[in-house]
Amino acid sequence: GNSVTQMEGPVTLSEEAFLTINCTYTATGYPSLFWYVQYPGEGLQLLLKATKADDKGSNKGFEATYRKETTSFHLEKGSVQVSDSAVYFCALLSSGGSYIPTFGRGTSLIVHP
């Protein structure tokens, strides 16, 4: 079946530091990959997505590249801000999973001024 593995958190960084949150997946079929973000007190919202191998999704300075050879979709940002403090979820969607989004456990990011 489908599964998503994310690095354990929390990730604690100083403002302007470089961010990487690792995500690897197992899927049947050809999945689409997503990063969602959950700010305190709010619902999950889409951050970025990529629907085929070698695609790069980007939004708000965040990027992730769909790497089929390593089954990975790592999230990166060159310079984090305090306002980026949130929980980040990697997710996939595939025909092999009946088109039901499968989520990782989430990685908490804390950015200090």
Partner 1 sequence: DTGVSQNPRHKITKRGQNVTFRCDPISEHNRLYWYRQTLGQGPEFLTYFQNEAQLEKSRLLSDRFSAERPKGSFSTLEIQRTEQGDSAMYLCASSPRGQVLNTEAFFGQGTRLTVV
Q: Please identify, among the stretches 12-20, 60-68, 69-77, 89-97, the one whose residues bind partner 1 according to the rule CB under 8 A.
A: 89-97
Q: With CA atoms as reference, report the closest residue to 73 among 53, 87, 59, 93.
A: 53
**How far is residue 97's CA from residue 80's CA, in Å, rounded to a whole number?**
34
CB of 81 to partner 1, least distance (A): 23
In a 13 Å sphere around the CA of 99, the CA atoms on its Cβ side amount to 0
79 near partner 1, rule: CB under 8 A: no
31 near partner 1, rule: CB under 8 A: yes
Q: Please identify, among the stretches 18-26, 36-44, 67-75, 76-84, the one whose residues bind partner 1 according to the rule CB under 8 A.
A: 36-44
